Amino acid sequence: MTTFASIPVKKTSQSRLSDIDFTKLEFGKYIADHMLVADYKNGQWHAPEIVPYGDLKMSPAILSLHYGQAVFEGMKAYKMKDGNISIFRIHKHHERLNKSLARMCMPEVPHDLFVQGLTALVETDHDWVPRTEGSSLYIRPLVFASEARLGVKVSDEYKFIIMTSPVGPYYSKPLRVKVEEHYVRAAEGGTGFAKCAGNYGGAFLPTQQAREQGFDQVLWTDAKEHHYIDEAGTMNVMFVLDGKLITPKLTSAILDGVTRDSIITLSHDLGLPMEERRVSISDLAEGFNSGKLTEAFGAGTAAVVAPIATINIHGKDYQLPQAGATSFQQQVKQKLHNIRIGAEADEHQWNHIVRIA
């Protein structure tokens, strides 16, 4: 059995760190100096190493370009108060990556390769972790089919890469969202629960159309009836309705968000009752009309917590109150932040600590 206790590091001869303005971080624009690369051949993963970030040499016939075998994760690392770095919920992300890989007929990434690779990469590029409030180091693990062949088949060769990127807040203002009642993101039995590349490409057109109409994102509805809310365009969605935290129950069409899971756990800590259940368009409209729908927000690794100001239902805009400091979404966002930077106890053991000498 292959082990990955020690991963070699080839450092770049010229860091790009001095070129980055950490006060003006666009999400995903800057990639850190190094990346982890490993190849899967002959039934196992081989020779992971950390190398300078750069282009890859690939055949245009690789199977991922033609038949879509590509899966990724989105994670974050944070600078802690003591100077060390926390990688948030590394084990949950590894579990979800392998669940996505299984759905796409791709080989699992071993736990020690994932954890040791991430740890070594963050140690190598620790100076790229931003220190400013609301900023973090975004981490992008990626697996794709690398076998060069035009026939429709499950690939026998894969490449595993991890890149990192210093980022600021994903959204700068509360969102205007539109309930989507025509296009479909995912259907039951499909790949909606997997974090595979095609899910995102297929969502571009309706999202672009919504933006042309003045919205920031769409709220996807179920493929069968277009009556039940699934998730938002780049994140899960949550509501405070009649004094309870409500979020759509997971199905095979909904991504099992790590931030979603964290907020559900923290809702119990903060004493807010919560339910995972089907949430209908009618539930939202009635909640607006009765005044019982007091908060709506997106939850995801990139956005963390993204306040929703407006929901458009059947062509009508409904407005939500501004989310102040005492709102649940702001309280849970602050608690998440405090746990990640070590300002509050990590009672759920979510932080994977990378110690910086």
Joined tokens for residue 302 = 């990139």
User: Can you say whether the dihedral through the CA atoms of 320, 326, 331, 337 is positive or negative?
Assistant: positive
Whole-prediction pTM value? 0.95
Q: Report the DSSP beta bridge partners of residue 164.
A: 139
**Per-residue pLDDT tens listing for the chain (357 residues):** 456 668 999 999 999 999 999 988 989 999 999 999 999 999 999 989 999 999 999 999 999 999 999 999 999 999 999 999 999 999 999 999 999 999 999 999 999 999 999 999 999 999 999 998 889 999 999 999 999 999 999 999 999 999 999 999 888 799 999 999 999 999 999 999 999 999 999 999 999 999 999 999 999 999 999 999 999 988 999 999 999 999 999 999 999 999 999 999 999 999 999 999 999 999 999 999 999 999 999 999 988 999 999 999 999 999 999 999 999 999 999 999 999 999 999 999 999 999 997
- Residue whose C-alpha is closest to residue 122's, from 156, 75, 169: 75
Q: Which domains does the chain have, with CATH numbers?
A: 17-167 (3.30.470.10), 175-323 (3.20.10.10)
The strand ranges marked E within 168-290 are 175-179, 217-221, 229-232, 236-241, 244-248, 274-277
Cα(346)–Cα(356) distance, integer angstroms = 19
Q: Are residues 121 and 36 in contact, defined by beta-carbon separation less than 8 angstroms?
A: yes
